[in-house]
Structure 1
Amino acid sequence: MTRSFRVLVLLIAAFAIATVTACSRADRNAAPAPASQGPADTLRLGYFPNITHAPALIGLDKGFFARELGATKLVTQQFNAGPPEVSALLGGSLDAAFIGSSPAINAFAQSKGATVRLVAGSTSGGAQLVVRPGITSPDQLKGQTIATPQLANTQDVSFKKWLKAHNLPTGTGPGLVTVQNLANPRTLDLFRSGQLAGGWLPEPWSSQLVVDAGATALVDERSLWPGGQFPTTVLLVRTDFLRAHPDTVAALLRGTQQAIDYAASNPADAKTVTNNAIKRLTGATLSQPVLDRAFSELSFGLDPLASTFPQLARDSVTAGVASTTPDLHGFLDLTELNKVRGAAGKPAVGAAGLDKTQR
């Protein structure tokens, strides 16, 4: 082998290595987004057997989702709190989920903004701090035990933020407020037995304590938000599913809107459908007074109330369930929602700048 030939071989090898390295780097740093693949074969959907998820329950019971999804098979899974549902989304066992606003933020933050997108709202309102009669001021909570559904869920964050605002430290002792995370049915039982002074709870549990156990409402969370609106339940979708199957996401949104319209035009039947679904899923049923009170505390709509999310993100830090405020740029993708609204002759809803990544 001549010297010039050896040099030529080395140059070719070096060029090949450089090309492979450059391609590999390009693949890592600029992987193309998956193109739309048409309707999905299957949609795996999570939700709660709870009145705050009434649009999901109505959509399933009345067949609105099935009709809009067409050939796409709908597989559902029920949850009782947000953190396990977040794990299912991030783990890839769900494609979409009706979920609380705080767990939705946590899912986005945990995945560093990659895995999920908020595509619509569902429910606003429906959370209260209900307490024993005789407790009429924040200071009277010192030395008391108050329940929230689960650590870092939407109501847990709201309550702990409210405690901070009233200079009420948490812990165990005469001058402290003990926050106990409990499944909602246990809260009712322990309140009745006198082991709890109350709870910051979603519907219908706050109404159950009031109607069935004699509690009084110390705080209606609607009073803490401009216009009395804050997102209780939103619709979260895996990013790769949204990009691959936008038509399926649009079908889910149409079905949700039909459920919301049905609740507005048939309020009595919507209560019955929701109550029957909860009974079928949990074995429990709600009295008519509890149903009536719970529904009066809620409003339903696909607007995610985007402008509230920066505050909700800060609240997680204030409540001590997050160490830093997550950057929510890119959290919302309302493309399919606004297409659905436009087709129905409704105005687009805004994303408050959270549909764009920060540069």
Structure 2
Amino acid sequence: MKKGFVYFMMGVLLILSACGGGSNASSSSGDKQKVVIGYFPNLNHAPAMIAKEKQMYENQLGDDVEVEYRTFPDGSAFMTALATGEIQGGLVGPGPAMNNFISGVDVTVVASSSTGGTVIVSREDSGIKTVEDIKGKTFISPRVGCTHDVQFETYMKKLGITSDRTGGTMKHVTGKPAQYTTMFEKGDVDVATAPEPWASVLEAEVGANVVVDSDEISFGKTLPAAVFVTSSDMIKNDPELIQNLIDAHKESVEFINENPEEAIDITIKSIDEITGQKLDHDVMESAWARTDFVYDIDQEAIQAFGDSSYDLQFLKEKPDFTGFVDKSFINK
């Protein structure tokens, strides 16, 4: 975590304290309580899209609660919104959630959303066919130190190949996954650490080569690709609301596994509405095959991922995730 961001978050929290801000669900018109759910237009956030389409949160929370939805381009923006009380919970990558927890931000993981879905692909004319060919090339990830970045750099470091951030040969740039296709077409980047469905999009639209598949990448089988988070303040002050949110989330995950074709159609529609990109059903099926939707959490995988983030110098100190995960809501 860069110092500038840590100081920024500390400043935000101090301002909130002075203004009487907090992370409780906000008031809305009339007597209704308003709850805002955040998520990204990525496949591993499909449970939020399904829950929205099927009004699962609304049904669990009842008529006295107004549910709103907000989408984010990256984990940093999501975590800032959670810290400032703009959202009360939602889906985010484990990397941003871990980094903010270590920095002292009030965030608690209460469920997983999915595992898998991170794929390393290369531009068709890049000459990159194997991981050894990536040495000296330019790779892109959504953000520095994000979940997909850590997975990729962990994998590459085992081969003795590191990024320019730590004196290595790989040049690292960042960008939104929905824009990867354009960047590949322009030749701006050679390799993408792509969360699904964008890896399958790159394969279908620009002939990208799969260099490391989702079941081979570091932590690909065990690490949650997305987690449902809220604040300990929300858990303490309104545990019934959090239980209702997680019950809806579990219902959504179960729906996905029982109705994959309908879930794919809903996810295609939702991503189109958010990004303006309508994905082919065949592309989404390819992406779906690389993703497992689960709500249980592998705490050991989270610690191992955090240790690797420290080893890669994304973190200044070795992390301690005591109190980071609360499984009580998924176990009820």
| Other-structure match for 2:322 | 329
- Residue 38 of structure 2 is aligned to residue 46 of structure 1: yes
Instruction: Tell me the CA shift for residue 294 of structure 1.
Output: 0.7
Q: 1:126 matched to which residue of 2? A: 117
- When the two chains are superposed, the root-mean-square deviation of aligned CA atoms in Å is 1.8
Q: Which residue of 2 aligns with 1:62?
A: 54
1:250 aligns with 2:243: yes
1:276 maps to which residue? 269
Distance across 2 between alignment mates of 1:261 and 1:327: 32
Shift in alpha-carbon separation, 1:54–1:178, aligned structure 2, 3 A: same
What does the per-residue CA deviation read over 1:157-214, in whole Å, with 9 as the maximum and x for residues that have no partner? Answer: 2122222222113239xx8111111111222111122222120110111111112111
CA distance in 1, matches of 2:146, 2:307: 14
* Equivalent position of 1:235 in the other structure: 228
TM-score by length of 1: 0.78
For residues 227 and 140 of structure 1, the distance between their equivalents in structure 2, rounded to whole angstroms, comes to 21
Paired position in structure 2 for 1:211: 204
Q: State the AA in 1 paired with 2:224.
A: P
Match of 2:108 in 1: 117
State the Cα distance separating 1:285 from its structure 2 match.
Answer: 0.9
Question: Normalising by the residue count of structure 2, what TM-score does the alignment of the two structures yield?
Answer: 0.84
The answer (yes or no) to whether the contact 1:96–1:236 under 8 Å persists in 2 is yes
Please tell me whether the aligned partners of residues 155 and 218 of structure 2 are also in contact (alpha carbons under 8 angstroms). Answer: no
Q: 1:272-293 CA deviation, whole Å, 9 max, x = no partner?
A: 1111111112221101221111
Q: Post-superposition shift, 1:152?
A: 1.9
Structure-1 separation of matches of 2:221 and 2:186: 33
Quote the residue 2:74 is aligned against: 81
Seen in structure 2, the aligned counterparts of structure 1 residues 132 and 57 have a Cα distance that, compared at 3 Å, is same
What CA distance in whole angstroms lies between the structure 2 residues aligned with 1:45 and 1:102? Answer: 19
Distance 1:202 1:52 in 2: 8
5+ unaligned residues in a row in structure 2: which ranges?
1-31
Alignment of 1:167-186 (within 5 A): 167-171=160-164, 176-186=169-179
Deviation at 1:225, TM superposition (A): 5.5
Percent identity, aligned pairs only, is 27
Aligned-partner SS, 1:255: helix
| Structure 1 contact 164–318 (Cα < 8 Å) conserved | no
**Which stretch of the first structure deviates more once superposed, 223-232 or 329-338?**
223-232
Is the 8 Å Cα contact of residues 198 and 215 (structure 1) preserved in structure 2? no
- 1:23 is aligned to none
- Bigger mean CA deviation after superposition, 91-100 or 130-139: 130-139
Matches within 5 A, 1:1-359: 41-70=33-62, 71-111=64-104, 115-133=106-124, 134-171=127-164, 176-224=169-217, 228-339=221-332
Report the CA distance between 1:222 and its aligned residue: 2.4
- Does structure 1 retain, via aligned residues, the 8 Å contact 2:151–2:219? no
d(CA) in 2 for partners of 1:151, 1:169: 14
Q: In structure 1, give the amino acid aligned to 2:79.
A: V
CA distance in 2, matches of 1:63, 1:338: 22
**Contact 1:158-1:319 within 8 A present in 2 as well:** no
Where in structure 1 are there 5+ consecutive unaligned residues?
1-39, 340-359
Contact 1:128–1:220 (CA under 8 A) maintained in structure 2: yes
Q: More displaced, 295-304 or 185-194?
A: 185-194
Alignment: residue pair count: 296
